[in-house]
Amino acid sequence: MLPPKKLPVALTIAGSDSGGGAGVQADLKTFAALGVHGTSAIACLTAQNPKRVLAVEPCSPKILRQQIEAVFEGLPPRAVKTGMLFSAENIRVVADFFEKATGCKQLVVDPVMVSTSGARLLKPAAEKILREKLLPLAALVTPNLDEAEILAGQKIRSPEDLRSAARKIQVHFGCAVLAKGGHLKNCREAMDIFFDGKTELLLSAPFVKGVSTHGTGCTYSAAICAALALGRDLPRAVEVGKNFITQAISDSYKIGKHFALRQI
């Protein structure tokens, strides 16, 4: 009998999505699809569906930290991603933990400030802590178009604007950036820019017509995190993430009146 296969571990620190299409639920499905054992620390609970967010309630800082400590104690992750942290207190908990952690430096931060539906998912008071404490610890930050505008302090209306914003964010926070331009108008392809201070990548894929999806940002960053846990370097991990999310959108299916990503 062959010995059991040993899987690398990845950790998601994010919100729980009651609709099952985003947040921790999307992350864990993505980890499993890419052959990584997924662990989780719930930062907040949401009442949401693919159409809208009805309510958000953060977990206490104490239980959030205990969840992270429990995972690192028993199942040390090779890579970690953050999603919706929501409150300043919980962002501070995560930043304080990773400032002192020695076992894992592969931290992917999905800033989750604004949802695809336009809902504000990060308290205004928490943005300062995100900027000053968490982003400088990240290996990679993955803002969507609205979040990239906030972090770069500029409007983004073209691919060249997206490239400029990625460079500004990288210089300001010192981490690699994946600026996602999927909602850029008048573009024929879904275009993202990766920049780590040396390497710049343009990642593009054809738009899938007639599909409106939920949880793409969560799934994309989770796929990158899984690839890092599997030992890929950061540029290659970003390419794995782009290929995975493109396929997940292409193979999306209907649930009720909504589309869901196929994370298999």
Among 216, 219, 241, 242, which one carries the catalytic annotation?
Answer: 216
**257 near 212, Cβ under 8 Å?**
no
Catalytic residue among 20, 21, 23, 215: 215
Q: Which of 15, 38, 217, 241 is catalytic?
A: 217
Active site residue 215: yes
Q: How far apart are CA 223 and CA 218, in angstroms?
A: 9
Q: Is 218 a catalytic residue?
A: yes
| Residue 76 backbone zone (phi > 0: left; psi -120 to 50: alpha; other: beta) | beta
Specify whether 213 is catalytic.
Answer: yes
Q: 29 catalytic, yes or no?
A: no
- The one catalytic residue in 59, 104, 175, 218 is 218
Residue 207 has a CB neighbour count (10 Å cut-off) of 13
**Kind of pairing, strands 37-48 and 9-17?**
parallel
Question: Does 180 participate in catalysis according to the annotation?
Answer: yes
The letter for the amino acid at 176 is A
Residue 199 known to be catalytic: no
Write the DSSP symbol of residue 212.
-
Share in percent of the chain as helix, strand, coil (round to 5): 40, 25, 35
Nearest to 106 by CA among 11, 242, 209: 11
Q: With beta carbons less than 8 A apart as the criterion, state whether 28 and 12 touch.
A: yes
State how beta strands 253-255 and 200-206 pair. unpaired
User: What is the distance between the alpha carbons of residues 177 and 175, in angstroms, rounded to a whole number?
Assistant: 6
Catalytic positions: 180, 213, 215-218
